[in-house]
Structure 1
Protein backbone atom coordinates (compact mmCIF):
# COMPACT_ATOMS: atom_id res chain seq x y z
CA UNK A 1 0.00 0.00 0.00
CA UNK A 2 2.80 2.43 0.85
CA UNK A 3 4.42 1.81 -2.54
CA UNK A 4 1.18 2.57 -4.44
CA UNK A 5 0.69 5.85 -2.55
CA UNK A 6 4.25 6.89 -3.31
CA UNK A 7 3.80 6.24 -7.01
CA UNK A 8 0.64 8.33 -7.07
CA UNK A 9 2.27 11.26 -5.30
CA UNK A 10 5.14 11.54 -7.77
CA UNK A 11 2.96 12.22 -10.84
CA UNK A 12 0.91 14.75 -8.85
CA UNK A 13 4.05 16.61 -7.79
CA UNK A 14 5.39 16.52 -11.34
CA UNK A 15 2.13 17.92 -12.63
CA UNK A 16 2.14 20.67 -10.01
CA UNK A 17 5.62 21.89 -10.88
CA UNK A 18 5.16 21.62 -14.63
CA UNK A 19 1.87 23.51 -14.38
CA UNK A 20 3.50 26.20 -12.25
CA UNK A 21 6.26 26.64 -14.80
CA UNK A 22 3.72 26.95 -17.58
CA UNK A 23 2.05 29.99 -16.03
CA UNK A 24 2.74 32.73 -18.55
CA UNK A 25 3.88 36.18 -17.49
CA UNK A 26 2.55 39.05 -19.57
CA UNK A 27 4.30 42.34 -20.20
CA UNK A 28 3.11 45.03 -17.79
CA UNK A 29 0.60 47.46 -19.27
CA UNK A 30 1.88 50.46 -17.42
CA UNK A 31 2.15 54.15 -18.30
CA UNK A 32 3.03 57.38 -16.47
CA UNK A 33 1.80 60.92 -17.05
CA UNK A 34 2.29 64.28 -15.33
CA UNK A 35 0.18 67.41 -15.48
CA UNK A 36 3.11 69.53 -16.69
CA UNK A 37 6.83 69.32 -17.37
CA UNK A 38 8.02 72.27 -15.26
CA UNK A 39 7.70 72.64 -11.47
CA UNK A 40 9.13 74.79 -8.72
CA UNK A 41 11.55 73.68 -6.03
CA UNK A 42 9.55 72.07 -3.18
CA UNK A 43 6.42 71.86 -5.36
CA UNK A 44 4.73 68.46 -5.29
CA UNK A 45 5.10 66.52 -8.54
CA UNK A 46 2.29 64.02 -9.02
CA UNK A 47 2.98 61.05 -11.28
CA UNK A 48 -0.25 59.41 -12.45
CA UNK A 49 -0.32 55.76 -13.45
CA UNK A 50 -2.49 53.83 -15.85
CA UNK A 51 -2.51 50.10 -16.42
CA UNK A 52 -1.04 47.74 -13.85
CA UNK A 53 2.10 45.90 -12.80
CA UNK A 54 3.10 43.59 -9.96
CA UNK A 55 6.02 45.78 -8.90
CA UNK A 56 7.08 49.36 -9.61
CA UNK A 57 10.45 50.96 -8.80
CA UNK A 58 11.01 54.72 -8.94
CA UNK A 59 14.26 56.49 -9.89
CA UNK A 60 13.87 60.23 -9.31
CA UNK A 61 16.92 61.19 -11.39
CA UNK A 62 18.79 62.89 -8.53
CA UNK A 63 22.33 62.09 -7.41
CA UNK A 64 22.47 58.45 -6.33
CA UNK A 65 19.11 57.64 -7.93
CA UNK A 66 19.82 57.58 -11.68
CA UNK A 67 18.49 54.60 -13.56
CA UNK A 68 21.42 54.50 -15.98
CA UNK A 69 23.86 54.05 -13.06
CA UNK A 70 21.95 51.24 -11.35
CA UNK A 71 24.72 48.73 -12.20
CA UNK A 72 27.72 51.05 -11.98
CA UNK A 73 30.26 49.94 -9.37
CA UNK A 74 33.40 51.88 -10.35
CA UNK A 75 34.48 55.12 -12.03
CA UNK A 76 37.71 55.73 -13.90
CA UNK A 77 39.47 59.07 -13.57
CA UNK A 78 37.94 59.88 -10.20
CA UNK A 79 39.84 61.34 -7.24
CA UNK A 80 39.46 59.57 -3.85
CA UNK A 81 39.18 62.09 -1.02
CA UNK A 82 39.49 61.29 2.69
CA UNK A 83 38.18 63.59 5.45
CA UNK A 84 37.76 63.32 9.20
CA UNK A 85 37.66 65.48 12.33
CA UNK A 86 40.05 64.92 15.24
CA UNK A 87 40.19 66.12 18.80
CA UNK A 88 43.32 65.54 20.86
CA UNK A 89 43.27 66.64 24.46
CA UNK A 90 44.81 66.06 27.90
CA UNK A 91 48.50 65.44 28.38
CA UNK A 92 51.50 66.92 26.61
CA UNK A 93 52.87 63.85 24.83
CA UNK A 94 53.50 64.53 21.14
CA UNK A 95 53.37 62.45 17.95
CA UNK A 96 50.81 60.13 19.52
CA UNK A 97 48.57 59.66 16.46
CA UNK A 98 49.54 58.52 12.97
CA UNK A 99 47.46 58.10 9.81
CA UNK A 100 48.60 55.22 7.61
CA UNK A 101 47.62 53.40 4.42
CA UNK A 102 48.53 49.84 3.43
CA UNK A 103 48.18 48.12 0.08
CA UNK A 104 49.09 44.64 1.33
CA UNK A 105 47.68 44.23 4.83
CA UNK A 106 46.06 40.78 4.96
CA UNK A 107 43.21 41.80 7.24
CA UNK A 108 44.33 39.61 10.14
CA UNK A 109 44.26 41.47 13.46
CA UNK A 110 47.50 40.36 15.08
CA UNK A 111 50.91 41.92 15.62
CA UNK A 112 52.65 39.80 12.99
CA UNK A 113 50.20 40.68 10.21
CA UNK A 114 50.25 44.38 11.07
CA UNK A 115 54.03 44.56 11.25
CA UNK A 116 54.58 42.47 8.11
CA UNK A 117 52.39 44.79 6.04
CA UNK A 118 53.81 47.85 4.29
CA UNK A 119 52.31 51.06 5.70
CA UNK A 120 52.63 54.48 4.09
CA UNK A 121 52.60 57.17 6.75
CA UNK A 122 50.43 60.02 5.40
CA UNK A 123 50.00 61.86 8.71
CA UNK A 124 51.55 64.97 7.16
CA UNK A 125 48.67 65.17 4.67
CA UNK A 126 46.17 65.76 7.49
CA UNK A 127 45.63 68.61 9.90
CA UNK A 128 45.42 67.08 13.39
CA UNK A 129 43.96 68.60 16.52
CA UNK A 130 46.09 70.63 18.88
CA UNK A 131 43.42 70.64 21.57
CA UNK A 132 40.15 71.48 19.86
CA UNK A 133 38.10 69.72 17.20
CA UNK A 134 39.60 70.37 13.76
CA UNK A 135 38.98 69.09 10.26
CA UNK A 136 41.74 67.10 8.61
CA UNK A 137 41.10 68.93 5.37
CA UNK A 138 40.65 67.04 2.10
CA UNK A 139 43.27 64.31 1.76
CA UNK A 140 43.93 63.20 -1.83
CA UNK A 141 44.57 59.44 -2.10
CA UNK A 142 44.99 59.34 -5.88
CA UNK A 143 48.49 57.87 -5.57
CA UNK A 144 47.01 54.71 -4.05
CA UNK A 145 44.47 53.98 -6.81
CA UNK A 146 46.75 51.71 -8.84
CA UNK A 147 47.71 49.63 -5.81
CA UNK A 148 44.43 47.75 -5.55
CA UNK A 149 42.38 47.60 -2.36
CA UNK A 150 43.81 49.48 0.61
CA UNK A 151 43.35 49.63 4.38
CA UNK A 152 43.39 52.92 6.29
CA UNK A 153 44.62 52.89 9.89
CA UNK A 154 45.09 55.14 12.89
CA UNK A 155 48.03 54.13 15.09
CA UNK A 156 48.14 55.40 18.67
CA UNK A 157 51.34 55.65 20.70
CA UNK A 158 51.35 56.50 24.42
CA UNK A 159 54.33 56.46 26.79
CA UNK A 160 54.59 55.58 30.46
CA UNK A 161 55.20 59.05 31.84
CA UNK A 162 54.13 61.24 34.75
CA UNK A 163 51.79 63.13 32.39
CA UNK A 164 48.60 61.64 30.90
CA UNK A 165 48.77 59.92 27.57
CA UNK A 166 46.94 61.93 24.92
CA UNK A 167 43.22 61.28 24.41
CA UNK A 168 42.02 61.20 20.80
CA UNK A 169 38.55 61.32 19.25
CA UNK A 170 38.08 60.68 15.51
CA UNK A 171 34.69 61.75 14.11
CA UNK A 172 33.00 62.60 10.79
CA UNK A 173 35.16 60.13 8.88
CA UNK A 174 34.31 59.82 5.19
CA UNK A 175 35.95 58.58 2.02
CA UNK A 176 34.43 59.84 -1.23
CA UNK A 177 35.31 59.88 -4.89
CA UNK A 178 35.26 63.09 -6.90
CA UNK A 179 34.16 62.23 -10.43
CA UNK A 180 35.60 63.92 -13.53
CA UNK A 181 32.35 65.89 -13.89
CA UNK A 182 32.59 67.25 -10.34
CA UNK A 183 30.18 64.94 -8.51
CA UNK A 184 31.01 63.57 -5.07
CA UNK A 185 30.07 59.91 -4.59
CA UNK A 186 30.56 57.90 -1.39
CA UNK A 187 32.99 55.03 -0.92
CA UNK A 188 32.72 55.09 2.88
CA UNK A 189 29.95 57.61 3.60
CA UNK A 190 30.47 57.73 7.36
CA UNK A 191 32.61 56.34 10.13
CA UNK A 192 30.16 53.52 10.94
CA UNK A 193 30.59 52.17 7.38
CA UNK A 194 34.35 51.76 7.69
CA UNK A 195 34.33 48.17 8.95
CA UNK A 196 36.76 49.12 11.70
CA UNK A 197 38.67 46.57 13.77
CA UNK A 198 41.12 47.28 16.59
CA UNK A 199 44.22 45.53 17.88
CA UNK A 200 46.43 46.34 20.86
CA UNK A 201 50.10 45.66 20.22
CA UNK A 202 51.15 46.96 23.67
CA UNK A 203 49.25 48.14 26.72
CA UNK A 204 46.22 45.89 26.51
CA UNK A 205 44.35 47.77 29.23
CA UNK A 206 43.73 50.64 26.78
CA UNK A 207 42.34 49.97 23.32
CA UNK A 208 40.57 51.88 20.60
CA UNK A 209 36.87 52.14 21.32
CA UNK A 210 34.78 51.87 18.15
CA UNK A 211 31.30 53.39 18.11
CA UNK A 212 29.05 54.65 15.34
CA UNK A 213 29.89 58.34 15.92
CA UNK A 214 33.58 58.10 16.87
CA UNK A 215 36.83 56.28 17.44
CA UNK A 216 38.26 56.97 20.89
CA UNK A 217 41.39 56.14 22.87
CA UNK A 218 43.29 57.61 25.81
CA UNK A 219 45.16 56.70 29.03
CA UNK A 220 46.11 58.21 32.36
CA UNK A 221 49.54 59.17 33.65
CA UNK A 222 51.91 56.43 34.79
CA UNK A 223 50.16 53.77 32.71
CA UNK A 224 52.14 51.24 30.64
CA UNK A 225 53.30 52.10 27.14
CA UNK A 226 50.54 51.84 24.55
CA UNK A 227 50.57 50.93 20.87
CA UNK A 228 47.11 50.44 19.49
CA UNK A 229 45.79 50.18 15.92
CA UNK A 230 42.34 50.67 14.46
CA UNK A 231 42.03 49.62 10.82
CA UNK A 232 39.31 49.79 8.17
CA UNK A 233 38.06 46.95 6.05
CA UNK A 234 39.61 46.63 2.58
CA UNK A 235 38.62 49.64 0.47
CA UNK A 236 38.57 49.90 -3.32
CA UNK A 237 39.26 53.53 -4.21
CA UNK A 238 37.59 53.38 -7.63
CA UNK A 239 34.41 51.80 -6.30
CA UNK A 240 31.05 53.51 -5.98
CA UNK A 241 27.70 52.27 -4.78
CA UNK A 242 25.24 51.54 -7.60
CA UNK A 243 22.45 54.06 -7.84
CA UNK A 244 19.28 52.87 -6.12
CA UNK A 245 15.61 53.08 -6.93
CA UNK A 246 12.70 53.21 -4.51
CA UNK A 247 10.14 50.40 -4.51
CA UNK A 248 6.74 52.10 -4.58
CA UNK A 249 4.52 49.13 -5.41
CA UNK A 250 4.43 45.42 -4.68
CA UNK A 251 1.77 42.70 -4.66
CA UNK A 252 0.01 44.21 -1.66
CA UNK A 253 -2.35 46.33 -3.77
CA UNK A 254 -2.84 48.79 -6.63
CA UNK A 255 -1.14 52.17 -6.84
CA UNK A 256 -2.54 54.84 -9.15
CA UNK A 257 -0.37 57.82 -8.23
CA UNK A 258 2.94 58.74 -6.66
CA UNK A 259 3.99 62.18 -5.35
CA UNK A 260 7.56 63.46 -5.06
CA UNK A 261 9.19 66.78 -4.16
CA UNK A 262 12.52 68.03 -5.52
CA UNK A 263 14.73 70.16 -3.30
CA UNK A 264 17.10 71.43 -5.99
CA UNK A 265 16.61 73.03 -9.40
CA UNK A 266 17.63 71.06 -12.47
CA UNK A 267 16.47 68.80 -15.27
CA UNK A 268 15.64 65.29 -14.07
CA UNK A 269 15.11 62.12 -16.08
CA UNK A 270 12.57 60.23 -13.97
CA UNK A 271 12.33 56.49 -14.59
CA UNK A 272 9.72 53.97 -13.49
CA UNK A 273 10.47 50.27 -13.87
CA UNK A 274 7.29 48.17 -13.94
CA UNK A 275 7.65 44.41 -13.51
CA UNK A 276 5.42 41.36 -13.73
CA UNK A 277 7.09 38.23 -12.47
CA UNK A 278 7.26 35.03 -10.49
CA UNK A 279 10.04 32.62 -9.64
CA UNK A 280 10.08 31.27 -13.21
CA UNK A 281 9.81 34.38 -15.37
CA UNK A 282 10.09 38.15 -15.28
CA UNK A 283 9.01 40.81 -17.74
CA UNK A 284 9.39 44.55 -17.41
CA UNK A 285 8.77 47.86 -19.11
CA UNK A 286 10.63 51.11 -18.47
CA UNK A 287 8.84 54.46 -18.59
CA UNK A 288 10.70 57.79 -18.63
CA UNK A 289 9.46 61.29 -17.81
CA UNK A 290 11.55 64.46 -18.15
CA UNK A 291 10.94 67.01 -15.38
CA UNK A 292 12.40 70.54 -15.10
CA UNK A 293 12.63 72.02 -11.61
CA UNK A 294 13.06 75.80 -11.37
Structure 2
Protein backbone atom coordinates (compact mmCIF):
# COMPACT_ATOMS: atom_id res chain seq x y z
CA UNK A 1 0.00 0.00 0.00
CA UNK A 2 2.92 2.31 0.73
CA UNK A 3 4.25 1.91 -2.81
CA UNK A 4 0.79 2.79 -4.17
CA UNK A 5 0.87 6.15 -2.33
CA UNK A 6 4.41 6.75 -3.49
CA UNK A 7 3.35 6.25 -7.10
CA UNK A 8 0.34 8.54 -6.62
CA UNK A 9 2.67 11.19 -5.24
CA UNK A 10 5.25 10.84 -8.03
CA UNK A 11 2.84 11.07 -10.97
CA UNK A 12 1.92 14.76 -10.37
CA UNK A 13 5.57 15.56 -9.64
CA UNK A 14 6.57 14.28 -13.10
CA UNK A 15 3.80 16.23 -14.81
CA UNK A 16 4.58 19.46 -12.98
CA UNK A 17 8.30 19.18 -13.56
CA UNK A 18 7.74 18.93 -17.32
CA UNK A 19 5.90 22.28 -17.54
CA UNK A 20 8.06 25.07 -18.89
CA UNK A 21 8.11 27.74 -16.21
CA UNK A 22 10.37 30.23 -17.98
CA UNK A 23 9.02 32.55 -20.67
CA UNK A 24 11.81 32.51 -23.25
CA UNK A 25 13.01 35.68 -24.95
CA UNK A 26 12.38 35.91 -28.68
CA UNK A 27 15.50 36.26 -30.82
CA UNK A 28 15.02 34.87 -34.31
CA UNK A 29 16.31 35.85 -37.74
CA UNK A 30 14.76 35.77 -41.20
CA UNK A 31 16.88 35.90 -44.34
CA UNK A 32 15.52 36.01 -47.90
CA UNK A 33 17.53 34.14 -50.53
CA UNK A 34 17.90 37.56 -52.26
CA UNK A 35 16.21 40.99 -52.12
CA UNK A 36 15.22 41.55 -55.76
CA UNK A 37 12.88 39.25 -57.69
CA UNK A 38 10.81 39.09 -60.86
CA UNK A 39 7.01 38.85 -60.69
CA UNK A 40 5.94 35.22 -60.31
CA UNK A 41 9.29 34.13 -58.87
CA UNK A 42 9.28 32.26 -55.57
CA UNK A 43 10.72 34.20 -52.62
CA UNK A 44 12.23 31.85 -50.03
CA UNK A 45 12.72 33.10 -46.47
CA UNK A 46 15.08 31.13 -44.19
CA UNK A 47 14.57 31.11 -40.43
CA UNK A 48 17.00 30.64 -37.55
CA UNK A 49 15.82 30.11 -33.97
CA UNK A 50 12.12 30.49 -34.87
CA UNK A 51 9.95 31.08 -31.78
CA UNK A 52 6.75 29.23 -30.81
CA UNK A 53 4.64 31.07 -33.40
CA UNK A 54 5.26 33.28 -36.46
CA UNK A 55 2.85 35.41 -38.52
CA UNK A 56 3.68 36.67 -42.03
CA UNK A 57 2.55 39.96 -43.60
CA UNK A 58 3.40 40.13 -47.33
CA UNK A 59 3.15 43.93 -47.62
CA UNK A 60 0.67 43.66 -50.47
CA UNK A 61 -2.50 45.76 -50.39
CA UNK A 62 -4.71 44.51 -47.56
CA UNK A 63 -1.85 42.47 -46.07
CA UNK A 64 0.18 45.06 -44.20
CA UNK A 65 1.27 45.08 -40.57
CA UNK A 66 -0.39 46.02 -38.20
CA UNK A 67 -3.52 47.01 -40.14
CA UNK A 68 -4.56 43.55 -41.31
CA UNK A 69 -4.57 39.92 -40.33
CA UNK A 70 -1.39 38.11 -41.24
CA UNK A 71 -0.89 34.53 -42.29
CA UNK A 72 0.09 32.11 -39.54
CA UNK A 73 3.12 30.20 -40.83
CA UNK A 74 4.28 28.54 -37.61
CA UNK A 75 2.61 27.18 -34.52
CA UNK A 76 4.13 25.67 -31.41
CA UNK A 77 3.71 22.15 -32.82
CA UNK A 78 5.58 22.55 -36.11
CA UNK A 79 9.13 23.48 -36.99
CA UNK A 80 9.85 26.39 -39.34
CA UNK A 81 13.05 26.41 -41.39
CA UNK A 82 11.86 28.06 -44.63
CA UNK A 83 8.76 29.78 -45.98
CA UNK A 84 8.08 30.47 -49.67
CA UNK A 85 5.84 33.17 -51.14
CA UNK A 86 5.16 34.42 -54.69
CA UNK A 87 4.50 38.06 -55.57
CA UNK A 88 2.49 38.38 -58.80
CA UNK A 89 2.78 42.16 -59.23
CA UNK A 90 5.90 44.32 -59.53
CA UNK A 91 6.57 46.74 -56.69
CA UNK A 92 8.41 47.32 -53.45
CA UNK A 93 6.94 45.40 -50.51
CA UNK A 94 7.45 45.99 -46.79
CA UNK A 95 7.51 42.39 -45.49
CA UNK A 96 6.90 41.82 -41.78
CA UNK A 97 7.32 38.71 -39.64
CA UNK A 98 5.94 38.78 -36.10
CA UNK A 99 7.12 35.96 -33.87
CA UNK A 100 6.57 35.15 -30.26
CA UNK A 101 6.81 32.77 -27.36
CA UNK A 102 3.84 32.23 -25.06
CA UNK A 103 3.17 30.41 -21.83
CA UNK A 104 0.93 30.84 -18.80
CA UNK A 105 3.02 33.81 -17.63
CA UNK A 106 2.35 35.86 -20.78
CA UNK A 107 4.03 36.35 -24.14
CA UNK A 108 7.07 37.98 -25.71
CA UNK A 109 7.18 39.16 -29.32
CA UNK A 110 9.68 40.28 -31.92
CA UNK A 111 8.91 42.10 -35.19
CA UNK A 112 11.23 41.72 -38.19
CA UNK A 113 10.77 44.05 -41.17
CA UNK A 114 12.47 43.92 -44.58
CA UNK A 115 11.91 45.31 -48.06
CA UNK A 116 11.48 43.02 -51.06
CA UNK A 117 11.65 44.44 -54.61
CA UNK A 118 9.71 42.72 -57.39
CA UNK A 119 10.43 43.78 -61.00
TM over 0.5: yes
Q: C-alpha displacement at 1:37, in angstroms?
A: 1.1
Structure 1 runs of 4+ aligned residues shifted over 4 Å read none
Aligned residues: 103
- CA distance in 2: counterparts of 1:36 and 1:52, whole angstroms: 20
Q: Distance in 2 between matches of 1:283 and 1:43?
A: 33
- Superposition map of 1:35-184 within 5 A: 35-69=33-67
Aligned to 1:276: 101
Structure 1 gaps of 5+ residues are: 1-11, 70-242
Deviation by residue 1:51-100 (Cα, 9 ceiling, x = unmatched): 1210000000011110032xxxxxxxxxxxxxxxxxxxxxxxxxxxxxxx
Partner of 2:7: none
What TM-score results when the alignment is normalised by the length of structure 2? Answer: 0.80
What is the match of residue 26 of structure 1? 24
Structure 2 gaps of 5+ residues are 1-11
- Partners of 2:23 and 2:112 lie apart in 1 by 19
Cα displacement (A) at 1:281: 1.1
Q: Secondary structure at the match of 2:49?
A: strand
**Residue in 1 that maps onto 2:87:** 262
Distance in 1, Cα, partners of 2:27 & 2:48: 8
* Structure ID, larger Rg: 1
Q: 1:68/1:251 Cα in 2 relative to 1: closer, same or farther (>3 Å)?
A: closer
- In 1, Cα distance between equivalents of 2:115 and 2:48: 18
Q: Which residue of 1 aligns with 2:76?
A: 251
Secondary structure of 1:27's aligned partner? coil
- 3-state SS of 2:43 partner: strand
Structure 1 distance, partners of 2:92, 2:111, is 19
Q: Secondary structure at the match of 1:63?
A: coil
The within-5 A match list for 1:222-233 is none
